[in-house]
A and B are shown apart, each in its own frame.
Chain A
Amino acid sequence: MPDLHGFGGQILSGAFTTLEVALTSLIFGLVIGLLGATAKLGPIKGMRVLAGAYTTIIRGIPELLIILILYFGGTVVLSTLYGDYVEVNAFTAGVFSLSIVFGAYATEVFRAAILAIPRGQIEAAHALGLGPVLTFRLVMFPQMLRYALPGLGNLWLSLLKDTALISVVGLEDLMRKASVAAGTTHDPLTFYAVAAALYLSFTSVSLAGLNVLELHANRGVRVLGGERR
């Protein structure tokens, strides 16, 4: 990394924070998404309504507003609970909000993927005497992954870019470091261009990785005319 008026190291550490936030939110978001999809397709009506309300509300509100609600609102709630001023840490608030947002979209992706598995496959698994856990692990999950991967890939890319929003509440991520450096050196063009280039490299690497994953998930799928859709 070039020196960049001495801010090179700062930018690099910001880039690590960005990746850290994105990966942590990805893991929590995937878990929320699986739970949400299970609730939405499950037999309990209350759970279905709850999961439906969750995805509708979260997908209808800007990510920035969700971050602000959880950051400032979280401070107020925790302060009243403890009876003393508690400040919510930007990392926690950020990961929390991005996981909730990712989870809401992932719920829909997983739901569609589960519905795309032919019913007969699951019946066949039951007929072979597989229990619910084995049915999920051996029959549903590998097929679901194939349908869910393109959608999840898109969600990951938007998550990666949404991390920039947490800089608004003061997380020391790539965006924030670039802003600070831009303000100090009066050279915003350079620093925002460097930030843009780094984000672009993250998304490019992700795209290449996702292609490999998709090829792997689609192994054994017969392709008509040798052309992949």
Chain B
Amino acid sequence: MNWPIIFDALPSLINGALLTLQLTSTSVLLGLIAALPLGLMRASTSKLLSGLVLSYTFVLRGTPLLVQIFLIYYGLSQLSWIRASFAWSMLKEPYWCALIAFSLNHSAYATEILRGGIRAVAPGEIEAAKALGMSYMLRTRRIVLPVAWRLALPAYANEIVLMLKASSLASTITLMELTGTSRKIVAETFSPYEVFISAGLIYLGITFVCVQIFGLVERRINRHQHRPLSKKGREPGEVSTDAASQDRFIA
């Protein structure tokens, strides 16, 4: 171990980690905003809507994220009408391309997780809402989404950690986030172990903090329950929260 190299690299690595965090949180936010209507459509009884969304999530979850990034970054610049459009000012920047690819990818996974949660809402609760005369919008907002969100959270927390790790792919299109920065330093110093392992430890630290925060959130939103949902011993007849994680591809 060459300690001076680690100390010299640390400030740049931390700067890289900040970009990693920024990329991850922005894509998670954008992905989630897109996933909300998509998840509702996917869980709806309409075969057409559900099928349309399924084809979207199927393509995005069935191809490597790296291919998606390259398609957007290298592929789109080939089309002259894109280069002539106003979107080009964004699409020529690797930062925006990575962000678009990550957000699309995340929205697909989040949609399927949300669908799992929505489908796991007890039918009796929805029937009760209908019996009270609630409109679709009202019962979705007051009954379905709050329950679905609680059921889907454990799987979704996992997905966010996967998104954090997937953000390392931004380094392949020259972005200097944590992995990109460490690759650059390794190329300059040729000390792969010291630098890559330091970067790995930073990732581990971020993951650890994420997992802790989501543990707290989970406990908080399930505080009305005698037994937390995430632990063993669910209510009889309740679909397990793993239902959402069981039928998804891991990023």
Bound pair: A and B?
Answer: yes
Cα of A203 to Cα of B58 in the assembled complex, Å: 10
CB proximity of B66 to chain A, nearest CB, Å = 5
A215 CB-CB contact with B under 8 Å: no
B interface secondary structure, majority: helix
B247 CB-CB contact with A under 8 Å: yes
**Residues in B whose Cβ lies below 8 Å from that of A72:** 186, 192, 196
| Contacting pair B196 A65 (CB below 8 A) | yes
Interface-facing stretch out of B88-96, B124-132, B166-174: B166-174
| Contacting pair B249 A158 (CB below 8 A) | yes
**Residues in B whose Cβ lies below 8 Å from that of A57:** 200, 204
Contact flag A76-B192 (CB < 8 Å), given A65-B168, A105-B250? yes
Interface residues on B, range: 35 or more
- B148-167 at interface with A (beta carbon < 8 Å): 161, 165-167
- B177-235 at interface with A (beta carbon < 8 Å): 179, 182-183, 186, 190-193, 196-197, 199-200, 203-204, 207-208
Hey, what's the 0/1 contact readout for B58-102 against A, CB within 8 Å counting as 1?
110111111110110011101100000000000000000000000
Contact flag A61-B64 (CB < 8 Å), given A72-B186, A193-B75? no
Contact pick for B75, options A65, A157, A188, A203, CB 8 Å? A188
A12 CB-CB contact with B under 8 Å: no
**Residues in B whose Cβ lies below 8 Å from that of A75:** 192
CB proximity of B28 to chain A, nearest CB, Å = 16
Closest chain A residue, CB of each to CB of B248: A154
| Contacting pair B168 A204 (CB below 8 A) | no
Contact pick for A155, options B193, B199, B250, CB 8 Å? B250
CB contacts between A and B, total, < 8 Å: 134
CB proximity of A150 to chain B, nearest CB, Å = 5
**Residues in B whose Cβ lies below 8 Å from that of A179:** 70
Cα of A59 to Cα of B172 in the assembled complex, Å: 21
| Contacting pair B66 A69 (CB below 8 A) | no
Closest chain A residue, CB of each to CB of B75: A189
Contact pick for A199, options B62, B203, B207, CB 8 Å? B62
- B40-68 at interface with A (beta carbon < 8 Å): 58-59, 61-68
**Residues in A whose Cβ lies below 8 Å from that of B145:** none
CB proximity of B54 to chain A, nearest CB, Å = 12
**Residues in A whose Cβ lies below 8 Å from that of B70:** 179, 182, 188, 192
B19 CB-CB contact with A under 8 Å: no
- Residue among B62, B186, B243 having the largest count of chain A Cβ atoms under 10 Å: B62
Interface-facing stretch out of A1-9, A28-36, A136-144, A160-168: A160-168
| Contacting pair A60 B207 (CB below 8 A) | yes
Interface pairs (18), CB distance under 8 Å: A61-B200, A64-B169, A65-B182, A65-B199, A68-B192, A69-B197, A72-B186, A77-B193, A154-B249, A155-B250, A162-B64, A165-B66, A179-B70, A188-B71, A189-B76, A196-B59, A196-B67, A199-B64
